[in-house]
Every structure is written in structure tokens, then in C-alpha cells.
Amino acid sequence: MKVFTEERQQAIIKQLNRDGIVKLQELVQTLDCSISTVRRDLQELEDQGKLVRVHGGATQITTLQSEPGVLEKSSKNVQAKQKIAKLAVQQIRADEVIYLDAGTSTEAMIPFMTTLSSVLVVTNGVQLASKLADINVKTYLLGCELKNTTKAIIGADVVETIKNFRFNQAFMGVNGVHPKYGFTTPDPNEAAVKRAVLAQSELGYFLADKSKLNEVSFAKVAELGAGVLLTDEHDKEVLQEFDQTKRIMEAEK
């Protein structure tokens, strides 16, 4: 039984969604093709941000705030993240309605938010909502289907829910910032949520440390001009054009 590339890759995704994990050897049997072919398929799907390859197979993409994200990163990365987070929190004024996207970049903002008064924070991150409640910040957690493995709230419904709100400011993490391809993330669903939020916000901020600059991920969120970039240190050359629009802020060294 011979199948074509597209067909194979769909089968892989399907099996992945069912089991949460796929094994290379099993796929070779199921799809009736060589190891090399399966490897190539997995490689492609990973490039597209549809799965994460692991030794012996692949797993569903774990979008955010699972501990590894926090601890794997080098301490330098963490420092940059914290500086960006501090800068971001400084943009928040009293009595505003804020959207805080799920993710490690935005999660880093929470410790700096203890003194904010009369601010309502809306978020789709379960962990974030929990932490925000801990520091007595008024919090609204968007309700929707909870993705099995990731604890992030994503999907079509949440986009509809977001349309019921109006935010003063929105803070979001992104995986890629590129002069041509704009702001990008690996997961199309997440990108859709971020876009919806952006449309309901007076002003959108994108948090990205130096390593994300000039990078491109899979799913496009918006053009560079759509929001303010908060970063730790930016390459004047690469983002020169964008820089001239004054929509970029750099954390203190």
C-alpha cells in the first residue's frame, strides 16, 4: 500500500493527536515506508512547528510554561527576560485593562506587578492566572478548551470570547521578529489568539529577547508595525527600518 507525502504526514499528525506521542518504528510499519522517509516527514513537520521531534519519534508541541521552558534556558536568557519584563510592566498605568498572553516572557512580568493598583488582567494562561491571583491582582481567565498536554487555552472558541473584550494594552511573547516576515510563533492556533487580542487592544507589545530578532517562526502574528517591540538589545542594522518608526524599546543593560 503506497501513500503520498501529504497523506503520510496527515496520518502522522492524526496519530500524534490521538496518542500524544508517535514512535519512529511504529510509523515505519503503519505507513509502510522506509525509516528515512519517516525521518524526513518528521523533520518537515517539525520545521512547520506541528510537532517536536524526540529521540525515537516525536511528541505534540508543548507551547508554553512547562517547567523545562523556565529551567532549560541559560541564566543569561533569564536575565534578559526579566529586564524586558520589568520594562513591560513600567508601561502599565492605573485603571487599565491589560491582556497578558500565556508564555514565559509574559510570566516573568508577574513578580514586578505587585504594586499595580486597580488594574484588571485578562489572560489565557492557567499558570499565569494562578500566580496573578496569588499577588492579589484582579484577574480574568479566558475560558475555553484546555489543550491536553500544554495547559494553554487556545482554539477557535477563545478567539470569539476575546471579541467581547476591549484591552488598553496587550503583552505577548513571540518567537520570531523579522523585518520582512513580522512577528511569528510556532503554533498557528496561538498566532490566531494573539491576532485576535491585538485587534481588541489599543496598543500591543511584543516581548522578545535578542535571540529572537531577525528570526522567523512558522505562523505569522502581525507585521512589525502592528505593535511595539520590547527587547533587551537590538541589532541596529537588522531592524533599522523598524527602529525609525520609534516602535521599539530597549531594556536597560
Rule CB under 7 A: which residues touch DNA? 2, 4-5, 8, 24-25, 33-37, 39-40, 43, 53-57
Q: Check the CA dihedral 1-44-105-174 and report its sign.
A: negative
Site for a second copy in 75-94 (CB under 8 A): none
**Residue from 14, 56, 156, 223 binding a second copy (CB under 8 A):** 56
* Residue 67 touches which member of a second copy, DNA, none, C-beta under 5-8 Å by kind: a second copy
Q: Check the CA dihedral 9-11-17-22 and report its sign.
A: negative
Region of 11 please: left (phi>0), alpha (psi -120 to 50) or beta. Answer: alpha
With the CA atoms of 228, 232, 237 and 239 taken in that order, what torsion angle do they form, in degrees rounded to the nearest 10? -20
**Residue from 31, 42, 50, 102 binding a second copy (CB under 8 A):** 50
Total residues at the site for a second copy (CB under 8 A)? Answer: 47
**Residue from 90, 114, 146, 241 binding a second copy (CB under 8 A):** 146
CB of 137 to DNA, least distance (A): 27
The C-alpha atoms of residue 207 and residue 172 are separated, in whole angstroms, by 6
The C-alpha atoms of residue 155 and residue 159 are separated, in whole angstroms, by 7
CB of 1 to DNA, least distance (A): 11
Radius of gyration of the chain (CA): 19
Residue pair 141/71 in contact by the 8 Å Cβ criterion: no
* Residue 17 touches which member of DNA, a second copy, none, C-beta under 5-8 Å by kind: none
C-alpha cell belonging to residue 151 = 495547559
Stretch that binds a second copy, among 34-42, 70-78, 104-112, 189-197 (CB under 8 A): 70-78
**Residue from 142, 193, 213, 222 binding a second copy (CB under 8 A):** 142
CB of 2 to DNA, least distance (A): 7
In eight-state DSSP terms, residue 149 is T
63 exposure class (CB count in 10 Å sphere: 0-12, 13-18, 19+): buried
Which CB atom, from 43 or from 136, has the smaller least distance to a second copy? 136
Which CB atom, from 37 or from 211, has the smaller least distance to DNA? 37
20: how many CB neighbours lie within 10 A of its CB?
A: 11
**Residue from 73, 147, 220, 247 binding a second copy (CB under 8 A):** 147
End-to-end CA separation in angstroms for the chain: 60
- Interface with a second copy by CB under 8 A: which residues? 4-7, 10, 20-21, 23, 47-50, 54-57, 59, 64, 67-68, 70-72, 126-127, 129-130, 132-134, 136, 138-151, 153, 161
